[in-house]
Structures are given as structure tokens and as C-alpha cells.
Amino acid sequence: MGPDGSFPFFSAEKRGMTRLAPFSWRKLQAAHETRVRQWTDPHQARTARCEKHPVYDFLFTYYSFRPTWLRRWHPGPEFILAGADAEEFLRWPEYRQTAEGVAVDASQLREHRRESVQHIRNLLKATQARPAFYGCFGLHEWAMVYQQTSDEIRHNAYPLRFPSDKIAGIVEENPICCTHYDAFRFFTAPARPLNRHQLTRESVSGLEQRGCLHANMDLYKWAFKLSPFTPSELVADCFELARDIREIDMRASPYDLSALGFSAIPVETAQGRADYEQHQREFAARSEPLRARLVSVCDWLL
């Protein structure tokens, strides 16, 4: 620790960093923006038309990370940026100028954020260690419309695949075993007692597991909450996973989204449940390296 109480900012060589010439990092920056604009541009165009999308809006409304922020490129802890142009990154307090160039500096992590990083790491590690569970079959979305009137249903611009009494029967006849609090809290009041777990905010770290679609979607949330220390490539990878999961999540829901080109995964049938479980397993496998990379970012920061 330095005389002023701060941690010394080690050289690129000591930190095992790669120094990027201006041409190299500008190329990475442009590639990142091109990649994410395939997702942000359509969303912003719909917003300008006051048009809602029941599948993709979730990624920009529930996850409150603006499209402009998603488009911004940050190198992460592995790179140091050379050249005068790199000074543009100094507008963020997490960056520092050194003899080698500009880079993010873990010593700039403020104390209130340090507690948040520790919480994120603990949750990620607990989720890694817990066996995956594949028996929920997406019924959380059904529990969110259980015994609701047509006016109360969130996406009521689109029809349901069954009348309300049939949906109620499916919810009541199948075990509801959601382990994700941020899904459970959107259950209707009559549906909550039907869940195997009566979840609370305090119970999150004790139940979160990697077979859960929403736990894997939330990797995007943890990635952007660690920004700008998170490499933007990793944020985009987590966003892409969340987007793919959101499609399956809504295809397995009681909504009929065929008008938007989404075929239903009929989880009310044995074949539909098998298909849903296969998607769960694939997403769990895709999530693991992303979760591990996020833990590494947390470890570096802490």
C-alpha cells in the first residue's frame, strides 16, 4: 500500500497484461459495437415507434443497462491501451494513466462497491457448487398468470394458449418448484403457496442453482454490475446467453407468440417437458465458463 493509503498500480509487465497499440484496441472497440448493435438497434427502433416486444424488451427493462452503455467497449483487466486516444477512458474514475498507457485499476474500486463485488462472488461460487436442478419445466411463467383476469396479465396484447381455467389446472396439477426469488416474487398471490420453496431475498444464496434459466440469465446482470472492470466481450457473451434463454423462457410460457415467429414449447406435455429440460442442460453448460470468468473478475477486484 502506498503512503497515501492507495494500492500501487503495478506495471503492465508485472500484472501480466497485454499492451495494445491504438490500431489494435480500436479494432476491438469497433467489433464490439458492431456485435451488440444487432441487438440494441432494433430495440431502440421499437422504442422510437412506441412498440413493445414481450420477449426482447425484458433484456433492457428488467435488466436496467441502457443500450448505449452496452455498446461501450471496455478492455477489462487484461489489457492496457496505448496512444493518446486512450485518454478518452480517463473520464471513468476506474481508469488510470500509467507510463505504459491507460488501464482499469482495481485500486479504484470504492468501498461500497467492494461489498457488492463480494456479494456477487459469493453468489456465483454458491451457484457453481450446487447441483443443477432440471425439474421446474418453466412453470414459473404459468404461476405469474395464475387466476389473473385478462386485464391483469402482463403481456395481454398477446393471447394465452389456453383459457384461464385450463392454465389453473396445469399449475395445480404439476409441482411448482422454482428456486429463483426474482421469478417467484412475480407469482400471483394465489400461486405462491403452491411453490415448493417459499423464497425470500435472504434465501437467494442458499437456493440459486445453475439449472435455472433465470440464474443463468442473471450472469448478464452481474457482468454489467462489475463494469467497467468487466471486459465488454464478456458482458456481450452474457447478454447473448440471456437473450437466447429469454426466447426459450417465453416459448415455454402460456403465451401464444406465434405471431412473432416463436413456436411454443408445450411444457404441459411429456415431450414439451423433455424439450425444455434439454434446453436447460444446454444453457447450464454454456453458463459455466461465463460464471467462472466473472468469478475471476471478482477475485482480481478483491
Q: At residue 14, does pLDDT exceed 80?
A: no
**What mean pLDDT is reported for the chain?**
93
Residue 288: predicted pLDDT: 97
pLDDT of residue 6: 30
> Mean pLDDT across the stretch 187-202?
95
Q: Which of 71-75, 151-155, 185-189, 263-267 has the lowest mean pLDDT?
A: 151-155
Query: Which pLDDT score, from 0 to 100, does residue 111 have?
Result: 84
Q: Using CA atoms, how far apart are residues 242 and 63, in angstroms rounded to an integer? A: 10
Asked which of 30-34, 107-111, 172-176, 234-238 is least confident by mean pLDDT, the reply is 107-111
Q: Is the pLDDT of residue 7 over 60?
A: no
Please count the other Cβ atoms lying within 10 Å of the Cβ belonging to residue 217.
27
pLDDT tens, position by position, 50-64: 999 999 999 999 998
Residue found by looking up cell 453458463 in the block: 287
pTM for the whole structure:
0.92
- Burial call 79-116: b when 16+ CB within 10 Å, e when fewer: bbbbeeebeebeeeebbeeeeebbbbbbebbeeeeeee
Q: How confident is the model at residue 5 (pLDDT cuts 50, 70, 90)?
A: very low
- pLDDT of res. 15: 56
pLDDT digits (tens, 9 = 90+) for 36-49: 999 999 999 999 99
CA distance 154 to 82: 49
Tell which wins on pLDDT, 112 or 287: 287
pLDDT given for residue 112 in this prediction: 83
192 contacts 176 by C-beta, under 8 angstroms? no
How far is Cα 297 from Cα 1, in angstroms, rounded to an integer?
21
